[in-house]
Amino acid sequence: MTQISAVASNLQSLAQHVSSLKKIKIMSVLLDNITNCVCLAFEALQQDKTGFVNKSKLKVLTANIGTLLDLYGVERGLEHYRSTTTLNFEQYKYYLQNEVFSSLPTKLPLAELRDYESRIAEVCWLVCRKRYLQRDYKIFTSEAVFQLYRVFCVLAELVVDNQNEQTLLLHPTEVCNIAQTISSSLGCTFDEEDFTNLSISMGNVRLTPFIALLESRCVIGIKDTKAIREAITEVYQKIVEDVIKKGYLTKKGYIFPTMREFWFVLRPSELTYYKTRSEKDKSGSLTIEVGTKIEATTGYRIILHGTERNFELGASDHMTRLQWMSALQLAADHSGSQQTYQRLQAAKRRLQRQGRVQEMIQAKTQLQLERSARQAAEGQAKELEALVKEDSKKLEQLAEIKVKLEKLLEEETQAKRDEEIVRALQARVLAEEWEKRDELERLQGEQKMLLEEERIKRKEYEDRQRQKEEQLRGAEQRLAQLEKERQALDEELKQAREKIVLSEGKKDFLEAKLYQYTPGDKVRRTHSFIPSTKERPILLEVRSATLRRPTKN
């Protein structure tokens, strides 16, 4: 029994320790979230820049914070806290941690955490608003300045200066991101290089320069105050209210299964939907938990599988559905966190910057080591400089000798090269000479053959010419003989014609005489061998043609 009771007591003490740890964790999260707001209010309560504030002023601020947390009388402990009449910010923060926020419950939902933070920030703004609204802003309204104040408190960080005082400053990269978001919302061109150069020259900025920088660089030339207000509100909702995504979706009803269109606003803990885009008439909300599953179905629809029941949503197109599914999954992953999503992202960026700063410090340290090593090397180099000069003289002499040797070697190489070229030319000339000689011998042989052929042809031609001349002489002799024969024949023909003429005259004479004695058939028959007058010319032509016909050789 004693052992069981001891174990039970141990378990009870362990449970109390765990609950106290949870309570401290919740308390530290809320206190960390509102520390920057409280810091700005603490700076506004200072009469001078000593870093201390009277307890009487801090009582009012503490009482208001306690009233928001449903804690009353928490400001009374300031009278007995420390023996001084003033407190610095670290002392006041320690009092808040142990006397005010330690009374919070162990479990605090994320939505309630944001609500507490917003209400405390408004109280702190009431304390310091007069200080930051003294400057007459030409474009930003008081509401826009308050929203930028909340954004600044979320992203800024406490930095300890050289005088060991804490100052709330915003890093230039965060300012650049906010300015770029506002410019893109307003449709303005954002000169990132100019803004980066300006941020480098300014360094980390306070709240007043931060607001003035946004007003002078992002909204200059914009006359539409409504658009400016919407752009500032969009940044405020994204960073302060932890809005991951907004847009129109359709939702299937629970009683009537019809798809109706609503304006949805997604945060890590819930998905709220409104009737209009103004977000005034709230229609309901869907709880987003760590175990919520997101599933895509046909018709660009999304199903949220919750612990109690499922919800069906509809998008306009495939790309919109993918964006909403990614945003819903992101909200489900961060819904169980005790810190808001944007603060976690800011802390991650802060760690990255610190890592880069550490790398820069290491690089500077390495550079310093290298610089010292270089200085030591320069000292050694000065000692070795005399030796180097002597060696350089020797090297110069050796270089001159080397140049001369190289020149001689180059001349020798050039001579060898020229000799090789001459030999190559001689070999080529000899080869060409042998080729010419072979060609000449070949031409001489061809010429001899041509001369022999010409001689044979000339001999044949002379023999043929001799034969032709002999044939010509024979033909001439034959022609002369034929000419003599023709002349003889012509003479004979002439004599024959004369004889024929004489015979025809005699015939005519005899015929005349015959007709004078007895005409009749008897006389005709006696001289029937004599041709008639019509047949005589034909007979003469035949004879003349016979006499003119030449004889064959």
Domain that holds residue 282: 242-339
Is residue 289 one of the residues assigned to a domain? Answer: yes
Is residue 30 one of the residues assigned to a domain? Answer: no
The pLDDT value given to residue 548: 52
Average pLDDT (339-365) is 86
The pLDDT value given to residue 248: 94
Is residue 510 one of the residues assigned to a domain? Answer: no
Residue with tokens 């201390």: 52
Is residue 53 one of the residues assigned to a domain? Answer: no
**Token couple for 5:** 């009771």
Res. 24 pLDDT band, cuts 50 70 90: very low
- Give the torsion sign (CA, 267, 273, 276, 279): negative
Q: How far apart, in whole angstroms, are the C-alpha atoms of residue 371 and residue 49?
A: 41
pLDDT digits (tens, 9 = 90+) for 283-337: 988 888 888 889 998 888 999 887 778 889 999 999 999 999 999 999 988 887 7
User: Which residues neighbour 145 within 8 Å (Cβ) at sequence distance 6 or greater?
Assistant: 132, 133, 137, 211
The pLDDT value given to residue 15: 40
Is residue 28 one of the residues assigned to a domain? Answer: no
pLDDT digits (tens, 9 = 90+) for 402-413: 889 989 998 999
pLDDT digits (tens, 9 = 90+) for 134-164: 766 677 888 989 999 999 999 998 887 766 7
At 293, which CATH number? 2.30.29.30
Is residue 2 predicted with pLDDT exceeding 60?
no
Count of alpha carbons within 13 angstroms of residue 553, beta-carbon side: 9
Average pLDDT (18-27) is 41
Average pLDDT (356-381) is 84
Is residue 381 one of the residues assigned to a domain? Answer: no
pTM of model > 0.85: no
Q: How far apart, in whole angstroms, are the C-alpha atoms of residue 167 and residue 158?
A: 5
Q: Quick one: how far is CA 43 from the chain centroid?
A: 52
Q: How far apart, in whole angstroms, are the C-alpha atoms of residue 177 and residue 87?
A: 36
Average pLDDT (9-19) is 42
Contact 205, 233 (CB under 8 A): no
Nearest to 92 by CA among 133, 131, 120, 51: 51
Q: Any idea what DSSP says for residue 440?
A: H
Number of domains making up the chain:
1
Is residue 249 predicted with pLDDT exceeding 90?
yes
Phi, psi of 301, deg, nearest 5? -110, 155
| 216-220, 316-320, 392-396, 425-429: range with lowest mean pLDDT | 216-220
pLDDT digits (tens, 9 = 90+) for 190-241: 777 877 787 777 788 888 888 888 888 887 777 888 888 889 999 999 999 8
Percentage of the chain beyond pLDDT 90 is 23
Q: Which residue(s) pair with 263 in the sheet?
A: 248, 274
pLDDT digits (tens, 9 = 90+) for 43-81: 888 877 778 899 999 999 999 999 988 888 888 888 889
Is residue 317 one of the residues assigned to a domain? Answer: yes
Q: How far apart, in whole angstroms, are the C-alpha atoms of residue 262 and residue 248?
A: 6
Is residue 246 predicted with pLDDT exceeding 90?
yes
Distances (CA, A) of 129 to 79, 185, 421: 27, 27, 100
The pLDDT value given to residue 553: 40
Average pLDDT (459-482) is 90
Contact 22, 106 (CB under 8 A): yes
**Token couple for 495:** 């004599």
Average pLDDT (262-274) is 91
**Token couple for 464:** 């043929």
What length is written for the chain?
553
Beta-strand (E) ranges in 100-231? 157-160, 166-169
Is residue 71 one of the residues assigned to a domain? Answer: no
Average pLDDT (84-90) is 90
> In this structure, how many other beta carbons lie within 10 angstroms of the beta carbon of residue 482?
15
SS3 302: strand
Res. 547 pLDDT band, cuts 50 70 90: very low
Q: Strand 157-160 relative to strand 166-169: parallel, antiparallel, unpaired?
A: antiparallel
Nearest to 137 by CA among 27, 34, 260, 232: 232
Is residue 544 predicted with pLDDT exceeding 70?
no
Q: How far apart, in whole angstroms, are the C-alpha atoms of residue 122 and residue 101?
A: 18
Contact 31, 20 (CB under 8 A): no
The pLDDT mean for the chain works out to: 82
The pLDDT value given to residue 508: 84
Average pLDDT (345-374) is 86
Residue with tokens 């028959």: 525
The pLDDT value given to residue 16: 42
Is residue 519 predicted with pLDDT exceeding 60?
no
Q: How far apart, in whole angstroms, are the C-alpha atoms of residue 279 and residue 262?
A: 10
**Token couple for 173:** 């990269």
